[in-house]
Amino acid sequence: MNRLTLSGLMFMALSLPLAAEDVSVAVAANFTDATRDIVPLFEKASGHTVKVSFGSTGKLYAQIEHGAPFEVFLSADSKHPQLAENTGLAVDGTRFTYAFGKLALWSPKADLFDDAQAYLKAAEFKRAAIANPKTAPYGLAAQQVLERLGLWSTLRARLVQGDSIAQAFQFVATGNVEVGFVALSQVNAWKTSEGSVWEIPQEYYTPIEQQGVLLEKGRDSAAARAFLEFLKSDAARTVITGYGYGVK
């Protein structure tokens, strides 16, 4: 029996509930595709049911502050889960890193650029998409990249901001914008040709350490605790790394 199978059986033995429960999970938009693969694995293993809401980290956190009934928060950064702990919105000791995100410059058009930095500096595009740096960690990372390249001020007027990294990706995927700063996981999930992609060196931006935390509304929920534990399993980590994320 291989390690993955054994791990899955051990999780099932430990987490099968006396009665199935629902768990409400708030998930950062970049983790949409991975979550959609992980949820059925968890539901099959545990018997619980997952209800997921996707959005930018900042907007999800604002909803949590205003009493949204989420029990688990999967953020695109470490800042907001830590803030949730500090303000009593999350259960102390439950915060952990489930993935390290990676940023890419991408277009579905093949051969759009060979040298991405030269392409950006030449400004050979009308518009480029990023997520809102104020609410989306991937948007902030994109701003940091442009600042490092000395291009933030010169290109700012050409940037189209999405509410989340999912919307920024959609702008590019639909052809409304020529190119965009997106999550590498989104490029890996793209069902057609790869197009043109630059996996941006991670030293160009602050590491995107994505953390999950149990919220106070899920303190007594066996399903919520089981879901967070499942994210640490080999089965979940295989999905996460398959989309190009890093893990500890």
Output the pLDDT for position 19.
72
| Bridge-based pairing state of the strands 22-28 and 72-74 | parallel
Residues of the chain with pLDDT under 70: 1-18
* Paired tokens of 34: 């991975």
Closest C-alpha among 244, 160, 164 to residue 202: 244
| Bridge-based pairing state of the strands 179-183 and 128-131 | parallel
Output the pLDDT for position 192.
73
Asked whether 109 and 225 are in contact (CB, 8 A), the reply is: no
The CA-atom distances, in angstroms, between 147 and each of 125, 136, 153 are: 18, 17, 8
Output the pLDDT for position 18.
54
Question: 215: which DSSP letter?
Answer: B
Q: Residue 33, CB half-sphere, CA atoms under 13 Å: how many?
A: 20
Output the pLDDT for position 13.
47
What 3-state class would DSSP assign to 145?
helix
Question: 218: which DSSP letter?
Answer: G
CA distance 40 to 60: 23
What is the distance of C-alpha 7 from the center of its chain? 24
Question: 176: which DSSP letter?
Answer: S
Q: What is the pTM of this model?
A: 0.88
